[in-house]
Amino acid sequence: EAQLVESGGGLVQAGGSLRLSCAASGFTYDDYGIGWFRQAPGKEREGVTCISTSDGSTYYADSVKGRFTISSDNAKNTVYLQMNSLKPDDTAVYFCAAGWPCMSTMTQDSMKFSSWGQGTQVTVSS
């Protein structure tokens, strides 16, 4: 059974940093993209970033480009999301998910991601 477990969320002041982790198990890790999505109260779920674990190619939403970095440790089946220069608008529950497409359409095609974690709360205070 595929399983994704997020960790690393918390409360941070604006301008600060957090690193999220997504540990994957129960499926062939190299066959999937791993994406990070977020959902704030009253807002639609947004695809933030994604990485192809087979070739390392990445996608970033414009809202996080230059501030967030996604990486994969294939030996540990774990994807990391380094978030720098955090803003109050980054406050949301962050989810990782396995699937495709790992590109700009990931938001509207989020239902094509087959496995999801339980989410981790990120709160950025002003």
Question: What would the pLDDT profile of 30-68 be if each residue is shown by its tens digit?
Answer: 889 999 999 999 999 999 999 999 999 999 999 999 999
- The Cα 114–Cα 120 span in angstroms is 18
Given this model, what pLDDT does residue 18 score?
Answer: 98
Given this model, what pLDDT does residue 70 score?
Answer: 98
Given this model, what pLDDT does residue 55 score?
Answer: 93
- The Cα 119–Cα 126 span in angstroms is 23
Given this model, what pLDDT does residue 11 score?
Answer: 98
Determine the Cα angle at 75 with ends 4 and 60, to 5°. 60
Chain mean pLDDT for the chain? 96
- The Cα 28–Cα 59 span in angstroms is 21
What residues are paired with 78 via a beta bridge?
A: 23, 73
Given this model, what pLDDT does residue 24 score?
Answer: 96
Given this model, what pLDDT does residue 79 score?
Answer: 98
